[in-house]
Amino acid sequence: MPESFFILSKDNLELAKDEVIAIAKTYDRFSKSKSFSNLVIIQSTTSWEKIANRATFVKLSGQILRKMSGLFLGEDNYEVLKNAKTFACRIVNLSSKQFDIQGLESSMGDMISKLSSAEVDLKNPEIIIYLIFTNQQNFFGFSKPFKNPKRPKKIRKHPHELDWKLVRVMINLIGLKEGETVCDPFCGTGTTLLEAESMGIKAIGVDFDEKMYQITKENLDANGFKSKIIKGDFSHFTSIEDKFDGIVTDLPYGTASKVSENPQELIKKFVEMLPRRKKIAIMCKKGFEKKLKMNPSKTYDIYRHKSLTRTILIK
């Protein structure tokens, strides 16, 4: 079974790790994983490109060719360069040992140039050869230059809007697939709808505020997106339950956005209405979740500033 590597940004590391693992499992439920610091190795039929294309916090990724205890590589390791004209070598040191990384990269480049017909091109290589060191194991792998997916435009913003990265991570954590539908019953400026549709997932948004309804509509139109937006109370989602596969939402905090009633009461009501057999990711102000009868399978705290920590609840 192919193995891929993902080097993750260290901000929100737990979230970042769970996200890549969740994406792999979305397409192959037998995927296995292990991690060494901010490196995650995934054994799955889901390709590294597919995971990296959806993931939010991946810095580097590629396919593992070999696990190694030393530094020795044979000619057969360069099969991957068979049809490539250019390559570059990259060493990633996650171990506690000190290495002369530049020196090692350049001698590796020299050695590979002798063993293959490909030439070193540091600016625009067709293939990047990776050596990743950890305290436990070393990995030899490769990658191809990876274009980040095109971001949807957000022409109208609002102070309460959520960072798109957190929305994307929530969509990934609950394993929604292309063609499925997500519902955001407190859609605000439409961040969930934009993110979902840019990932090939359909979306339905609900917001009771006329202004938010208009902003979302304009944001969708600016991208030519077809997600549905309904102006109404969040409880509307209960009448369209057969039309979506999961809920991803950021609940009102009672600060920057309008709210129909005390946010804690509203959240309680909302949680009581949640459908049983759907994939659910809810974001709320930390503390609000304490009185909820939700039994999340996992929670994540995300510190924003001294008076705001958010909590993501996954069910």
Ligand X SMILES: C[S@@+](CC[C@H](N)C(=O)[O-])C[C@H]1O[C@@H](n2cnc3c(N)ncnc32)[C@H](O)[C@@H]1O
Where do contacts with ligand X occur on this chain (CB under 6 A)? 158, 160-162, 186, 188-189, 191, 206-209, 212, 233-234, 250, 252-253, 257-260
Comparing every residue's Cβ against ligand X, the nearest one is 188
Smallest Cα–Cα separation from 139: which of 107, 95, 97, 83? 95
The residue (of 75 and 233) whose beta carbon lies closer to ligand X is 233
Cα 298 to Cα 273, 280, 286, 313, distances in angstroms: 20, 11, 14, 6
Lookup: tokens for 229: 């937006």
Smallest Cα–Cα separation from 56: which of 15, 92, 3? 15
Smallest Cα–Cα separation from 133: which of 73, 103, 74, 91? 91
Lookup: tokens for 214: 């208009």
The residue (of 116 and 216) whose beta carbon lies closer to ligand X is 216
The residue (of 259 and 302) whose beta carbon lies closer to ligand X is 259
The residue (of 117 and 238) whose beta carbon lies closer to ligand X is 238
Compute the least distance from the CB of residue 153 to ligand X, in Å.
15
Compute the least distance from the CB of residue 87 to ligand X, in Å.
42
Compute the least distance from the CB of residue 12 to ligand X, in Å.
17
60 neighbors 142 (Cβ within 8 angstroms):
no
Q: Please give the full DSSP string across 254-282, using - where no structure is assigned.
A: SSSS--SS-HHHHHHHHHHH--TTSEEEE
The residue (of 173 and 206) whose beta carbon lies closer to ligand X is 206
Q: Please give the full DSSP string across 205-252, using - where no structure is assigned.
A: EEES-HHHHHHHHHHHHHHT---EEEES-GGGGGGGGGG-SEEEEE--
Compute the least distance from the CB of residue 263 to ligand X, in Å.
8
* Number of Cβ atoms within 10 Å of the Cβ of 156: 17
The residue (of 104 and 259) whose beta carbon lies closer to ligand X is 259
Lookup: tokens for 291: 């009185």
